[in-house]
Chain A
Amino acid sequence: MKNTIIISLLTFLSIQFVKAAPVKDSISGFTFQKMQLDAAMDFDCDACGCSASGGSMGFSSMLNSNFIGIRYFNQSYSSRDGIFANSPWIDENFNTTQIWTKIPVNEKIQIAALIPYHFHNRELTTGTEKISGLGDITLMATYSVYKTQKDSAVFTHNIQIGGGVKMPTGKFEESNNLGTVNQSFQLGTGSWDYLFVTEYMIKKENLGLNSMINYNIKTENSKKYQFGNQLNYGSTFFYLLDLKTVQLVPQVGFAGEVYETNKQYGEKVINTAGDILFSKFGLEVGKDKLSLGINAMLPINQNLSSGNIEANYRWSVNLNYTL
């Protein structure tokens, strides 16, 4: 799968170079607005918003501020299937294909939507278990509180705040939580969840730094299960390299997630809290109205489910079309 993606990326690049049409975009006309909802759109990287999900994965497009796109992302975990030291470790693969879009209402307000489709699998000792289907749809809005207006400014700043709602469109199956440690093997949280995001971007010429914090309040679902609230944070450096035919934006940064304890019937579910810190690497390639991004996250430090879940890696690829 990974190979396929890399080959597709190379193919895409070579086609773009061969076709190399006259450039319309100039560097001055190219703003970094694309980064804007980056952090804001991170929240739905979770497999479902559960314990070991991918809430800080992020990277929307930096090459197009208003777009519709499709993104595939994969999260690999190993989870202990049992409560003992010699209980078997099983592999869990969380796969998501999502349609995402970001549309400006006006100069200060943007709305965004995410429609995920999940296909997860895990290798239990009794055989492979698979679940697939629509995930939780998210709608949100962000508002630009402060934005540097002068073109002549050496540093430009942009501060945004926003909020949104994640709807229980993904199926929550109680039975997926029985007998196994990882409570996150779900298509959705089954609950109405609320998101609060803040984001700060500073840039100088072609170099920028984007930092974000967002907080997800999760409520009790109809099965009386409540996933713990989740804090996501992160910072990403990015650099715009304009090669006339294409723009390249390499990115590097870190991202963290902190999960509170899940509850069932109001009682804490043990071993469901945790935290994790990732390093992030990415590259975005833009050409005319299309941009292609590929990203990876590797854990630096983690303590998920009292050590009963280990995140191995996450990676994603996305194709966006500027509206």
Chain B
Amino acid sequence: MRSSFGAAYLKNYKKEITLKEMKNLLYKAVAVLAMSAALTACSNDETTVSGTGKVALEFDNSFNGNDLILETQANTTASNEVLKITAIKYIISNIVLTKEDGTTFTYPKSDSYFIVDEATATSHVLDLKNVPAANYTKVTFGVGVDKAQWELGATGQADFLAKAQAEGMMWSWSAGYKFIAFEGTFTSATVGTALPFKVHTGQTGTDYNYATIILDLKTKALVRSNITPQIHIVTDLSKVLNSTNVIKLSDNNPNGTGAMIMGGANLPLVTQNVATMFTVDHVHND
């Protein structure tokens, strides 16, 4: 085969021409392919961005890297306390989306109060509607109800007051909203038999304890009439007790009947921790 090839090549002039032609043809083909690839790669169809779309803000509760499972899952804190979480609820409010040019879109305040409850799957995703089409790079939200809103009085709360009461996220009107309700049982080196714990934040004394969270989006959220970005936020509940500040449940168990952290000096510390527990895992533009 090889020898016959050599002979054929020398003997047959006509064939050589054919080969040259083929060679040229192949080069041309490769060039065309390369060009079309380059063209396709460059042709970003810049259709004008207008109108409105939707955004889904998903809150996915976890504990130190593991998906949260209520009741059964044993979660060990950095302080070596083992928590079984029976309930986690928090109020998310005042959502602001920042566009890539730095301007912001503030979600209408009257629609911007939500309760995320681990036990209710439908509450994990906040569906934002009528969001101006744009490329968004940041999301900002509050944990709790801001003081200005609370100061509007009971009538200024619209239907959120009733909702918060139904969800057990009110202490009383005068005491205000619970911003976070984190509950379960715990054991530790000094607590052998599981005792209940409750961490509730909200205003206490002169501390209002509302937290504002600003998160960068790793992938731009492209809001269009036909694209609803899903911003997948992971909430790491291990940070409620172990983050900027370390709070041990065992140290808050004065009567040996459980740890109830609902006021006093601990709440500002917990609030600082809460401010660190949210991260954007990813953004789907689907």
Query: CB-defined interface of B10-33 with A at 8 Å, one 1/0 digit per residue?
Result: 000001001100110010011001
Q: How far is the CA of A192 from the CA of B38 in the complex (A)?
A: 12
Interface residues on B, range: 35 or more
Determine if A270 and B219 form an interchain contact, defined as CB atoms under 8 angstroms apart.
yes
Q: Mark B80-124, 1 if CB is under 8 A from A, else 0.
A: 000000000000000000000000000000000000000000000
- A residues near B (Cβ < 8 Å) are 29, 31, 33, 65, 82-87, 105-109, 141, 143, 147-149, 151, 156, 163-165, 174, 178, 192, 194, 196, 217, 219-220, 264-271
Chain B's closest residue to A153 (CB) is B2
B276 contacts the other chain (CB 8 A): no
Query: With contacts defined as CB atoms under 8 Å apart, how many contacts are there between chain A and chain B in the complex?
Result: 89
Question: Which among A141, A149, A269 is the interface contact of B26 at CB below 8 angstroms?
Answer: A141
> How far is it, in angstroms, between the C-alpha of A219 and the C-alpha of B34 when the chains are bound?
12
User: Once the chains bind, are B40 and A163 in contact (CB under 8 Å)?
Assistant: no
Query: Which one of B60-68, B164-172, B189-197 is at the interface?
Result: B60-68
Give the interface of B toward A (CB within 8 A). Answer: 1-3, 5-6, 8-9, 15, 18-19, 22-23, 26, 29-30, 33-34, 36-37, 40-41, 44, 60, 62, 65-67, 218-220, 222, 227, 232, 234, 281-286
**Closest 6 A/B residue pairs (Cβ):** A84-B67, A86-B66, A219-B40, A85-B65, A163-B30, A194-B37
Asked if B5 contacts A107 (CB within 8 A), the reply is yes
A265 to B229, CA, bound (A): 11
Asked if A149 and B5 make an inter-chain contact with CB atoms under 8 angstroms apart, the answer reads yes
New A-B pairs, 16, CB < 8 Å, besides A65-B1, A165-B33, A270-B219: A83-B282, A86-B66, A87-B67, A106-B18, A107-B5, A107-B8, A109-B22, A109-B26, A149-B2, A163-B29, A164-B33, A192-B40, A194-B36, A194-B37, A220-B40, A265-B285
Contact partners of B283 in chain A: CB under 8 A: 267
Q: Using Cβ atoms and an 8 Å threshold, which residues of chain B touch A196?
A: 30
Per the bound structure, the CA–CA distance linking A178 and B66 in Å amounts to 20
Q: Which of A65, A108, A156, A165 contacts B19 (CB 8 A)?
A: A108
| Interface contact B15-A151, CB-CB below 8 Å | no
CB contact under 8 A between A86 and B67, given known A163-B30, A219-B37: yes
Q: Is the CB of B19 within 8 A of A106?
A: yes
**A106 adjacent to B1 (CB under 8 Å):** no
